[in-house]
Amino acid sequence: MKDATFEELRTAGLDGYYTEHDKALYPVDANGVPWTATYIQAKGDPITDLTDDMAAEQKARTTYENLIALTDDPDVIDPLKFLWAREVIHFQRFGEALVEVQDLLSSKRSF
């Protein structure tokens, strides 16, 4: 946004954002809803927290798939595919961590 003209911002549908925030960074979702710390989830139980992390990665993956479906511009699709693949890898790594935590916890418990 740094070098964008007001007309470019208006054309991009960012005139309301500009009105409120000028060209400052102000994290919002695609609907303009501001980021809030309530998005961070933590129960203190590693199995619950890792499962929640995995769900977040899947939600992000779905969002990228939806964005890819909305365009036919390869200059937009290519970075979205990169981000999509990153979410898949994050999901896999969280899954691996979950298995390790489950194994560790089950070896320490006697029922």
Section 49-68 average pLDDT: 96
56 plus 93 within the same structural domain: yes
The encoded tokens of residue 77 equal 């699709």
How many separate domains does the chain show? Answer: 2
55 plus 93 within the same structural domain: yes
Tell me how many degrees the CA angle 1-12-30 measures, rounded to the nearest 5. 85
69 plus 95 within the same structural domain: yes
pLDDT digits (tens, 9 = 90+) for 10-37: 998 888 888 888 888 888 887 888 888 8
Q: Is the pLDDT assigned to residue 111 strictly greater than 70?
A: no
Question: How many C-beta neighbours within 10 Å does residue 57 have?
Answer: 19
pLDDT digits (tens, 9 = 90+) for 94-107: 999 999 999 999 88
27 plus 62 within the same structural domain: no
pTM above 0.85, yes or no: no
Could you list the residue range(s) of the whole structural domain that residue 62 is in?
A: 41-111
Inter-residue contact 91 to 58 (CB < 8 Å): yes
20 plus 51 within the same structural domain: no
Average pLDDT, the chain: 91
What CATH code is carried by the domain that includes residue 51?
1.20.1260.10
Q: How confident is the model at residue 110 (pLDDT cuts 50, 70, 90)?
A: low
